Amino acid sequence: MSNSASERRSFGARLTQAMQDRGPLCVGIDPHPALLAQWGLADDAAALRTFSHSVLEATADIAAAIKPQVALFERHGSRGLGVLEEILAEARELGVLTIADAKRGDIGSTMQAYAEAWLADGSPLAADSLTVSPYLGFESLRPALDLAAETGRGIFVLALTSNPEGASVQHVGGQDSVARRIIEAVAQENSRVTAGLGSVGLVVGATVAAVARDLGIDLPGSFAPLLAPGLGAQGATATDMREDFGHAWSQVLASSSRGILKAGPSVEGLRAATLETISSLQG
């Protein structure tokens, strides 16, 4: 992002444009040990670099966004985080939006520090957007929400996730569920948006999107980009997602990781799998 914060378009506007130009796909960069082995790579920082650069080379000009899974870099310590810094910088130079999948969530000065690490201009870990967890209360996210707005970046708030334990928290309250209150808070953050997408998004699992209807949740009214992990390897298909998201489909940024990454290590194979997935989403 070469423009100053005052000149920069909002994250929501940039993501809207990217999805229109390239299709609604986010490619995960998830260097799982099993995938590294499948690619014939060791489980070390050097392999992370090879893996990540191959994914970026294959997808940076055709995907709307890329999403490094931060934990899989952190497990290699400072060397792994160094590779992540390189990938975020390279993605910025190549013009592809980044979502740091870090799921940060805390209170007070600690949340402020997380925000500065991932969302501040000049931070080596600065991404275009960050995933966050609201389960210490939505307002605990305020430092990240405010800094993202100030710097033209975005936030993706965990709302409806596909893990079996998620329902025990997110669905509590039925028609006044925890998830509904989180999504209504996001809608309030995006209340000035009249067209396109806001800069405060939601994470809604691709395999559980239909639950929103059961809980009386108005996803279209949130004006939120809907980051939807689970396409491909976790079982969701583009047809399923189109039906389950319904009127919110135009807001969906489908995320695929293993479904595409298993086509490596060939850059050509990764690119072909990415293009095939985009085609399925646009069909």
Q: What are the start-end ranges of the E strands in the chain?
A: 25-29, 65-68, 97-104, 129-132, 154-160, 200-204, 226-229, 252-256
Q: Which of 73, 117, 118 is nearest to 100 (CA)?
A: 118
Query: What are the C-alpha distances in Å from 211 to residues 147, 215, 243?
Result: 31, 6, 12
Burial class (CB in 10 A: 0-12, 13-18, 19+), 227: buried
Rounded Cα–Cα distance for residues 170 and 138 (Å): 13
Contact of 170 with 164, CB cutoff 8 Å: no
Q: What is the DSSP letter of 69?
A: B
- Which residue stretches of 60-177 are H helix? 70-74, 77-94, 108-119, 142-151, 167-170
| Residue tagged active-site, from 8, 9, 103, 181 | 103
Rounded Cα–Cα distance for residues 258 and 127 (Å): 22
What is the token pair recorded at 83? 């590779």
Answer yes or no: 262 catalytic: no
Instruction: Tell me the catalytic residues.
Output: 103
